Amino acid sequence: MSLRVLDISCVWEAKAQLGEGPIYDPRDHTLLWVDIKSSKLFRLDLATSEKNEWYAPIAISSLGLRQAGGYVCSRKDGFHTLKIEPDLRLQFETISDPEHDLPLNRFNDGKVDPEGGYWAGTMEDAETDDAAGQWWRLGADGRVEKMDGGYHVTNGPAFDVERSQIYLTDSARQVIFVAKFKNGTLSDKRVFKRFSPDEGYPDGMCVDRFGYLWVCFWDGSCLRRFDADGHLVLTVDMPIIRPTSLVFVDAAAYVTSASIGLSDEAIKAAPLSGGLFRLQFDTALSPEDRFYEVFY
């Protein structure tokens, strides 16, 4: 199918070090995202453009909506619930810390799956251990299970509902995997796509309503859209060097980005690095609402 990008704009010049984890909350039409390295949480009201910003006591790395209210999130110290109180205080409650015995690790990217569970991947914070990363799933019954391991830098996941598939990325190795996902189990994992150094590093991902996989490319200055067979069908160039993740809201995509590690020269060439961007398309791309709930 043909798809046109009508506009690309920066909607929040946040100058995030490591912007990540955007989610859309249809309950109040807001977009939330984080800066992992600066321990910040951001919220943008898409109707009024009102902005809120918080420092979290321990950095949030990813978020998901919770059916009972508020959010579920991953931090360095595991899975938690999060509520934003009427007076704008952040309230956390611990669920589980599956890697309490791995102090050098931290959680990274994560997302709600179509069955109401919440996935989050880990990695060694210093990125020296190339196999320390693992994928964990918080189930609808509250149990936490290890789903996969041996990753350098975990990113994603993304879910293809029609094909009962999950995509998982090892960004440092420049590879995206695909596997069958059904009834809380992972099977038949294989390489979906490998990339060369000049293409950048695959980072956050999302599947649109038509089953195409969208991937942000760190040091690639672009988003790429792939069909289910791994064929590239569209490249969207971005005015930043390190786009990190995205979420669809109707006919728009909101894209986070990073400024960490960029030279002064690179920042001068891409001054909006670390901002939140809005891409307007000519077609609605949002997946079904079931992606916006987590049950437990």
Q: What is the b/e burial string over 202-238, where b = at least 16 CB atoms within 10 angstroms of the residue's CB?
A: bbbbbbbeeebbbbbbbbbbbbbbbebeeeeebebeb
The reported pLDDT for the residue numbered 118 is: 96
User: For residue 76, which of 120, 33, 32 has the smallest C-alpha distance?
Assistant: 120
> How many CA atoms does the CB half-sphere of 104 hold within 13 Å?
9
Enclosing H/E stretch for 266: helix 264-269
User: Cα(122)–Cα(38) distance, rounded to whole angstroms?
Assistant: 18
The reported pLDDT for the residue numbered 221 is: 98
Residue 98 pLDDT exceeds 80: yes
Residue 292 pLDDT exceeds 70: no
The reported pLDDT for the residue numbered 142 is: 86
Q: Identify the DSSP state of 153.
A: B
- 188, 203, 229, 289: which is the annotated catalytic residue? 203
User: Cα(105)–Cα(116) distance, rounded to whole angstroms?
Assistant: 26
User: Cα(201)–Cα(222) distance, rounded to whole angstroms?
Assistant: 10
Q: Tell me the per-residue pLDDT of 168-202, one tens digit each, with 9 for 90 and over.
A: 999 999 999 999 999 889 999 999 999 998 999 99
The reported pLDDT for the residue numbered 293 is: 65
Residue 132 pLDDT exceeds 80: yes
Compute the average pLDDT of residues 89-115. Answer: 95
Compute the average pLDDT of residues 207-222. Answer: 97
Q: What is the b/e burial string over 155-193, where b = at least 16 CB atoms within 10 angstroms of the residue's CB?
A: bbbbbbbeeebbbbbbbbbbbbbbbebeebebeeeeebb
Give the CATH number for residue 35.
2.120.10.30
Dihedral class, residue 205 (left if φ above 0, else alpha if ψ from -120 to 50, else beta): beta
Which tokens belong to 105? 């690790």
Query: At 268, is the secondary structure helix, strand, or coil?
Result: helix
Question: What is this structure's pTM?
Answer: 0.96
Q: Identify the DSSP state of 276.
A: E
* pLDDT band at residue 96 using 50, 70 and 90 as cut-offs: very high
The position carrying tokens 């490998």 is 194
The reported pLDDT for the residue numbered 296 is: 55
The reported pLDDT for the residue numbered 258 is: 98
**Mean of the per-residue pLDDT values for the chain?**
95
Domain count, the chain: 1
Residue 290 pLDDT exceeds 80: no
* pLDDT band at residue 294 using 50, 70 and 90 as cut-offs: low
User: Cα(19)–Cα(56) distance, rounded to whole angstroms?
Assistant: 14
- Domain of 112 in residue numbering reads as 5-292
User: For residue 201, which of 156, 255, 135 has the smallest C-alpha distance?
Assistant: 156
The position carrying tokens 């391991």 is 149
- Tell me whether residue 198 is one of the annotated catalytic residues: no
* pLDDT band at residue 2 using 50, 70 and 90 as cut-offs: confident
